[in-house]
Amino acid sequence: MRDHQDGETSKYVVIFAISAIIIAMVLRSVHGDHDSREPPVVHPRIPLIGHIIGLMTNGAKYWSTLSARYPHPIFTVPMLSSRTYVITSPSLASQAQRASKTLLFNPLIVEVTGRMVGFDNQTMNILRHKSAKEEGRSVLMDEMHEMIYSVLSPTEIKDISVGVLQQLTECINEVTGSIETDLFLWVRSQFTMATTYAIYGPENPFVMNPSLEEPFWDFEEGLIKLIVGIFPSLTARKAYYGRERCIEGMIEYIKNERYRKASKLIQERVQLHSRYNISETQMAKSELGMLFGALVNAGVTTFWVLNNIFSRPELLAMIRDEIEGKAMSISSIDGRETRTISFSALKSTCPLINSVYRETLRLVAPMSSSRLVTVDTMIADRYLLRSNSVVQIAGGVIHEDPSIWGADAADFNPRRFLTSQSGTRTDISDHNESEGGTGATAAEKKQVHPAAFRAFGGGSVFCPGRHFAQVEIISFVAGVVMAFDLAPPMGTRHIWFDPPKDEKRIPIGVMKPVKELQVQIQRRLGMEGMRWVLEL
């Protein structure tokens, strides 16, 4: 994998600075004066564009840098003629989430998605629905939001979950001997094919044209430059042409009605788009955006969970014991010993693997929750948020704050979410860690604020696919943990776990590793001929 390069960073800075000037001038003009009731202002060291440069060069870490210098629960970041309010307190995050009538997500996601996939003006006008509500007409974004949340609710995802588990079962059983690979790329490839098959059906674009997988990830890699939108065919050439190839594949998929064999989610999306007279080409672009949401985080999250487990032998042994004792059954199918792992049992009776999953997300998912302030709004009876400004709930800052999580906030603690999905605060007075880092002997546990865990968003805007993601990630992790050992590559003596993360990338998803993690994946001793089944 490629390391970040200085030349590439410089291109990002120039592109984003120019784009920000244009966007700020065109999209909004904000009051230049600062109201005393607004959050305190953090002025950039370089006037006008300093914060923009900081974000482009430091990515997810920039809000942390500002928060460390100015430890306010909320502060104002001026950018050109606009302003952003950055929230670093869970209690204020909760207050902002309650103001859902005036702090809106949809206006922002419409503009970002339009730049991301290249919608035409007609489609953007339909999505913006400037007069639809006033005229009593239905709104596409509202209907789409309601449909997706319904179809992907815990009670409605059985078919799609069964489908992805069948595909992931095949991925595990295909490895009968030993393979040497970069663990991240191997996991990502398995999830790309399995998830796309489950959602888009057996005639999905990646099945019909397997060569589209690489262009899709080229598109993902250069997404920020596409969103900036300054001559993207030149400034984001690889991502731009990757996107165009994927759109061509989606157009073929829609024109030939291959979605008729897809999940209920995709069939209803096509029907809804058709009802609003979205053309096939623009529909294909929308489905590329949907595919991005389905693929971009699941594989990389799974990689980090596996890294965190296999790098800690004692934790690995404990999780294997938990799965074997509570979530696995043994049978014989066609005379072949078969071990079946139940997701329902994993979810309800295996707290350690679930805690590891959430703790991993806390450390690798620094996403911010964004809202547009549509009307001057007071939160917590103290802070004025002014119209046409943006609110950013800085998930990365909140996730690493010792005052929230305890002195070990920067460390991986597999037991942090053992008794609560919100997490527990750990004040360690007598630290006696085991090899697996599985906790402290003398520790005071305290409930963490429920708005502190930001990996799936919060308030009225939670990730709609979080339940499906839990099914595929935890099930696949359990299957890999039980079926395989990881060994050093041939000719080496060590596995270099914990590769550095791309912390300086603007956070659009879970952080990726910036170096390869080469391993040998091999069947566990005595289980070489075992058949594995992942079931719901």
* Single-letter code of the amino acid located at 365: A
**SS3 of 89, please?**
coil
Q: Identify whether 425 is part of a domain.
A: yes
Residues 191 and 303 both lie in one domain:
yes
- C-alpha–C-alpha distance, residues 291 and 349, integer Å: 32
Whether residue 165 is contained in a domain is answered as: yes
Residues in the chain, total: 536
Contact between 355 and 412 under an 8 Å Cβ cutoff? The reply is: no
Higher-confidence position of 59 and 165: 165
Residues 221/236, Cβ–Cβ less than 8 Å = no
* Rounded Cα distance, 292 and 512, in Å: 15
* pLDDT on residue 79: 84
Q: Residue positions in the annotated binding site for heme?
A: 463
Select from 358, 384, 399 the last residue of a domain.
Answer: 399
pLDDT of residue 33: 73
Report the pLDDT value the prediction gives residue 22, as an integer from 0 to 100.
47
When pLDDT is cut at 50, 70 and 90, the band that residue 135 belongs to is low
In 3D, which of 221, 253, 268, 232 has the Cα closest to residue 114?
Answer: 232
Whether residue 475 is found in the same domain as residue 444: no
Distance CA 301, CA 478 (A): 14
Distance CA 365, CA 501 (A): 11
Same domain, residue pair 380 and 439: no
Residues 504 and 440 occupy one common structural domain: no
Residue 474 buriedness (CB in 10 A; 0-12 / 13-18 / 19+): buried
pLDDT in the model for residue 31: 42
Shared domain for 241 and 290, answered yes or no, is yes
- State residue 194's pLDDT score: 97
Structural domain includes residue 335: no
Does some domain include residue 373?
Answer: yes
For position 162, what pLDDT does the model report?
Answer: 96
- Given this model, what pLDDT does residue 445 score? 58
Per the DSSP assignment, residues forming a β-bridge with 103 are 373
The CATH number of the domain holding residue 109 is 3.30.43.20
Distance CA 445, CA 404 (A): 12
Its pTM stands at 0.88
Q: What pLDDT sits at residue 32?
A: 53
Looking at the predicted structure, is the pLDDT value of residue 201 above 60? yes
Instruction: List, for residues 22-60, the tens digit of each pLDDT value.
Output: 444 434 444 457 888 999 999 888 887 888 888 888 887
State pLDDT tens for residues 447-477. 899 999 999 988 888 899 999 999 999 999 9
334 in a structural domain? no
**What string of H, E and C letters represents the secondary structure of 321-353?**
HHHHHHCEEEEEECCEEEEEEEHHHHHHHCHHH
**Which range among 23-27, 32-36, 167-171, 423-427 has the greatest average pLDDT?**
167-171
514-524, pLDDT tens digit by residue? Answer: 999 999 999 99
Query: What is the three-class DSSP state of 416?
Result: coil
Please state the rounded mean pLDDT for residues 355-375: 95
Collapsing DSSP to helix, strand or coil, 128 comes out as helix
Note the pLDDT tens digit of each residue in 220-252: 999 988 998 888 889 989 999 999 999 999 999
- Rounded Cα distance, 459 and 94, in Å: 7
Pinpoint the alpha helices (H) of 450-514.
466-483
pLDDT, position 20: 47
Ranges 278-287, 320-329, 415-424, 426-435: which has the least confidence: 426-435
C-beta separation of 424 from 109 below 8 A = no
- Per-residue confidence (pLDDT) for residue 428, from 0 to 100: 53
Where does the pLDDT of residue 367 fall: very low under 50, low under 70, confident under 90, or very high at 90 and above?
Answer: confident
Residues 474 and 526 in one domain: yes
Whether 155 and 274 share a structural domain: yes
152 and 101 fall within a common domain? no
Residue 328 resides in a domain: no
Nearest to 498 by CA among 311, 322, 230: 311
H/E element holding 117?
A: helix 106-117
What is residue 9's predicted lDDT score, i.e. its pLDDT?
47
* Domain count across the chain: 3
Judged against a pLDDT cut of 80, whether residue 257 lies above it is answered with: yes
Q: Are residues 425 and 521 in the same domain?
A: no
pLDDT grade for 529, boundaries at 50, 70 and 90:
confident
Do 193 and 111 share a structural domain? no
Range of the domain at 445: 405-454
Kindly indicate the confidence band of residue 357, based on its pLDDT and cuts at 50, 70 and 90: very high
Q: Is the pLDDT of residue 133 over 50?
A: yes
Query: Is 126's pLDDT higher than 60?
Result: yes
Residue 288 or residue 509, greater confidence? 288
Binding site, residues? 463
What is residue 321's predicted lDDT score, i.e. its pLDDT? Answer: 98
Q: What is the pLDDT of residue 372?
A: 94
Please state the rounded mean pLDDT for residues 390-396.
94
Between residues 7 and 218, which one has the greater pLDDT? 218
Cβ pair 72, 40 in contact under 8 A: yes
Q: In the predicted model, what is the mean pLDDT of residues 376-399?
A: 95
Q: What would the pLDDT profile of 473-497 be if each residue is shown by its tens digit? A: 999 999 999 999 999 999 899 999 9
- Burial letters for 115-153: b for 16+ Cβ neighbours within 10 Å, e otherwise? bbbbbeeebeebbbbeeeeeeeeebbbeebbebbeebbe
Q: Among residues 428, 424, 418, which one has the least CA distance to residue 404?
A: 424
pLDDT at residue 334 tops 90: no
Find where tokens 């990757």 sit: 242
- Same domain for 179 and 238, yes or no, is yes
**% of the chain surpassing 70 pLDDT:** 89
Q: What's the pLDDT at 24?
A: 46
